[in-house]
Chains A and B, each alone.
Chain A
């Protein structure tokens, strides 16, 4: 089985896996980083969203062999104390219901705000395509605006 060395949350990791193994399962089953969630396996729901060199990527369709020297970031590495402005905004707006999709939503929102620090409703709606089965979408939108309003701290 091939061996892969790469960086997750600024730490070097080394795993043995078949080349076609989606990064999602490597994170969850081998590295015990279970904050990244499985929802569909076909890049439709966004529950498995991670950062790859800072950009949002759906890890269920991203084979471990494609990681190479790129940097992988997961929800566990977003902030040391769980106080990233987007995480704080999520708590402040009391967004979650079941909470299952929210790590993917947060990763997608962080990536959006990095590119576009003050997105409009339309920009949020066209960029955030994750599914929330509980329908917390209204609060997600508000939480993104709240995080954006804190500006520069991202």
Chain B
């Protein structure tokens, strides 16, 4: 593979570091040209920095939130550079336009950077080889790079990258730099341990919550206690008497207490006397459920998709299935409660903290504080989970406003209760599924979805495989803030879809795996309407999981459920295996087959899928958040019941379909199919359908 037109102006930025060394990065800004011609000696904003002493620092452009990119993105650079992996230092890049979009979400970091980062590595390698060849007076073609050195093939002469760095920075950049054939990969596709592993297990200050700066105060914020309420007035006289409390400031409809320690700020907040007033309706979960049912009793104004004639097929059916599935609101509950450091003074802002949307955060701070974006810097720590919560920049914006109001550097700390009351929740919703069956065949399929806010069902399987199919969505207006939560919409749709498919299989007296394969074969051979997926890839994961799980073989007290889903361009099929212990189900093993194109880091990829399985199982079994008069009822772990070791399967086996295609998403696709696979296994074990999450409301797990 080669990149046809690498032009130095559009892409590449190679420069010398003051005092020697070389820097390779990409410049996507047109106005950078002048800087480049001037030979800007040093910029910290590039992907690779080689110092004459041999230290190689690589910048990972997207924030690390647990998805493994701090390791896997750098593997892409290192692969093409032929560097010694053990000698690399990795840093997360601060926000800088040179890195393009640094948003972390939608399982997109590897997908969007697979080629670009390899180009950065390949360019460095080519220039280092050219520098060595020039030094020795030989042809570049007679030299190669290996393990951080360039070697002359015939003489065996050798120079390290560090020795070559300064000279390499002045070598002309060729226009056409070939990338490796995937068959030559030595790093991509192997198991590489997290680059921060040692720092993590020794408790180093890696996270935003660990920020400690000179003169900084800790802040805890009183925000409205219910959605629909706003600040009317407050009295801070008792707060200001709490030892350690320094300041109280109002920011919008919230009151921030700044103190010399988190605990003093928490106590200070508890001493505030606040009057909140109702600004809009105070909503409750029971009202939502009633409203969903009402919405689903009528057809939507315009279906999202309408193939064939569903109504005719329904009216001539010999058997009609008509069932509801329900999913609760969820909090993101990322392990590191929200926090942010901000120092806003003299029209400038220094920001540091956890976010999935660095660009959006800075743009919003610039707007809200009325200062130019150019005066704002944003550093990005490792983050204690994301799951979509930090796709909203509210935590950083609020900290900046507080620092501006208080005129001092501040570390804003959210308590877990703050986090759960002020989330952008996974929306609750209800599905109504109908199927028309005639003469042992599935003739029509209708799926209606009602949810808080705007949830639109993805146009995916079994669409394309059925003659008559209708998909429709209804929105319930609400003042409960909702937002993306790991595998948005997929995480609820897969549940309803794949459970219903299992119900249809039972009704048709067909094996659930065989039914899927039959439908996908139809989609492949005679697709109906638009096909959003590739049937062959779908079939590959279904067949693989059937193989590794010995699907179809029965053993005593072993019950299984199957499910499959397509999201973020990846295909996943899963089998849940459970046994009954004194009438209580105990999940013993989960099998996963995944097609995600080329796997970059085998250890990280497997970890993502295993984690998604435990995440998805836990939420399906135990977790829900409900509202009473606009306030979250479950405000902390405990009542917000979360999966623990005792409910974790002993093993989660992950198999990847071999592929040399460019990688597709992997942070999210492992999650959607697991809840329905569990529900289907529970049906196999108990004969009862589990159509409402969390299942622990209806069955006790071992």
Contact = CB atoms under 8 A, between A and B. Distances in A.
Given A126-B646, A134-B66, 16 more contacts: A34-B209, A34-B210, A39-B337, A40-B638, A42-B637, A76-B203, A91-B197, A97-B67, A97-B607, A98-B64, A99-B196, A99-B384, A125-B644, A135-B613, A135-B643, A138-B614
B383 interface: yes
Interface string A104-131: 0010000000000000010011101111
Given A37-B209, A138-B648, A133 B608 contact: no
B549 interface: no
Contact of A100 (B385, B603, B610): B385
Contacts of B417: 41
B205 A100 contact: no
Contacts of A70: none
Given A29-B263, A138-B651, A97 B66 contact: yes
B648 A141 contact: yes
Contacts of B207: 37, 100
B202 A91 contact: no
Nearest to A122: B646
B186 interface: no
A56 interface: no
B367 interface: no
A138 B637 contact: no
Interface string B180-209: 000000000001011011101111111101
25 contacts: A1-B243, A17-B263, A18-B263, A29-B263, A36-B203, A39-B335, A40-B416, A40-B637, A42-B638, A79-B202, A90-B201, A91-B193, A97-B66, A97-B611, A100-B385, A101-B384, A102-B201, A125-B646, A132-B335, A133-B335, A135-B618, A136-B614, A137-B614, A138-B610, A141-B650
Interface string B583-615: 000000000000000000001100110111111
Interface of B: 64-68, 191, 193-194, 196-198, 200-207, 209-210, 212, 218, 243, 260-264, 267, 333-337, 382-387, 413, 415-417, 603-604, 607-608, 610-615, 618, 636-638, 642-646, 648-652
Task: Point out which of B68, B205, B637 has the most chain A C-beta atoms below 10 A from its C-beta.
Answer: B637
Contacts of B650: 121, 138, 141
A5 interface: no
A57 interface: no
B32 to A, nearest CB: 34
A95 B64 CA distance: 15
A73 to B, nearest CB: 11
B335 A94 contact: no
Given A25-B262, A99-B66, A91 B198 contact: yes
Contacts of B66: 97-100, 134
B335 A47 contact: yes
Contacts of B201: 75, 82, 87, 90-91, 96, 102-103, 106
A30 interface: yes
Contact of B416 (A29, A41, A137): A41
Contact of A99 (B193, B337, B382, B643): B382
A45 interface: yes
Contacts, number: 200
A134 B646 contact: no
Contacts of B334: 98, 133
Interface string A16-29: 01100110010011
Contacts of A100: 66, 207, 335-336, 384-385
Contacts of B610: 135-136, 138-139
A125 B197 contact: no
A140 interface: yes
A38 B197 contact: no
Nearest to A44: B637
B643 A134 contact: no
A38 B209 contact: yes
A66 to B, nearest CB: 15
A138 B652 CA distance: 7
Nearest to B387: A133
Nearest to A35: B203
A26 to B, nearest CB: 8
A39 B335 CA distance: 6
A44 B198 contact: no
Given A91-B201, A139-B610, A98 B65 contact: yes
